[in-house]
Homo-oligomer: A and B are copies of this chain.
Amino acid sequence: MTKPKEVTIYDLARKLNVSIATVSRALKDDPVVSKKTKKKIFDLAEEMGYRYNHFARNLREQRTYTIGVIVPRLNSYFMSTVIAGIESVANNEGYTLIISQSSEKADKEMASAKTMFNNRVDGMLVSLAYDTEDIAHFDQFIKKNIPLIFFDRVADHPDCTNVLIDNRKGAYEATCHLIAQGCQRIVHITATPKRNVYVDRLAGYKQALADHQIPFDDKYILINNLSQEAGAQAAATILQMNPLPDAIFAANDNCAVGCMIALKKAGLRIPQDIAFAGFNNDPVSTVIEPNLTTINYPGYKMGEMAATSLINHLNGVNSIDSTNTILLRSELIIRASSLRTKSDSE
Contacts and interface: CB of A to CB of B under 8 A. Distances in A.
Contacts of A31: none
A87 B108 CA distance: 12
Given A119-B96, A284-B283, A144 B80 contact: no
Given A62-B3, A145-B4, A287-B257, A80 B75 contact: yes
Given A51-B117, A84-B101, 15 more contacts: A1-B316, A3-B144, A6-B62, A52-B118, A73-B80, A75-B80, A76-B80, A84-B103, A87-B100, A91-B111, A91-B115, A97-B100, A99-B99, A257-B287, A284-B284
Interface stretch (A53-61, A148-156, A326-334, A337-345): A53-61
Contacts of A287: 257, 261, 284, 287-288
Nearest to A116: B96
Contacts of A91: 100, 111, 115
Nearest to A264: B289
Contact of A59 (B53, B64, B80, B145): B53
A75 B81 contact: yes
Contact of A84 (B6, B74, B77): B74
15 contacts: A2-B145, A3-B62, A4-B143, A4-B144, A6-B62, A53-B59, A54-B118, A54-B119, A74-B80, A76-B80, A91-B115, A96-B98, A261-B286, A261-B287, A287-B288
A31 to B, nearest CB: 23
A83 interface: yes
Interface centre among A55, A91, A287 (most CB of B within 10 A): A55
A120 interface: yes
A128 to B, nearest CB: 18
A327 B90 CA distance: 35
A283 B4 contact: no
Interface centre among A58, A64, A99, A289 (most CB of B within 10 A): A99
Closest 6 pairs between A and B when the two form their complex, measured CB to CB = A75-B80, A74-B80, A55-B58, A55-B55, A55-B59, A99-B99
A181 interface: no
Contacts of A4: 143-145
Interface string A78-93: 0011011001000100
Identical subunits present: 2
Contact of A75 (B84, B98, B118): B84
Contacts of A308: none
B62 A59 contact: no
Interface string A207-249: 0000000000000000000001000000000000000000000
Contacts of A284: 283-284, 287
Nearest to A64: B55
Contacts of A100: 87, 91, 97
Given A2-B145, A4-B144, A87 B115 contact: no
A16 to B, nearest CB: 22
A96 B64 CA distance: 14
A216 B285 CA distance: 37
Contacts of A58: 55
Given A4-B144, A53-B120, A289-B289, A83 B74 contact: yes
Contacts of A98: 96-98
Contacts of A257: 287
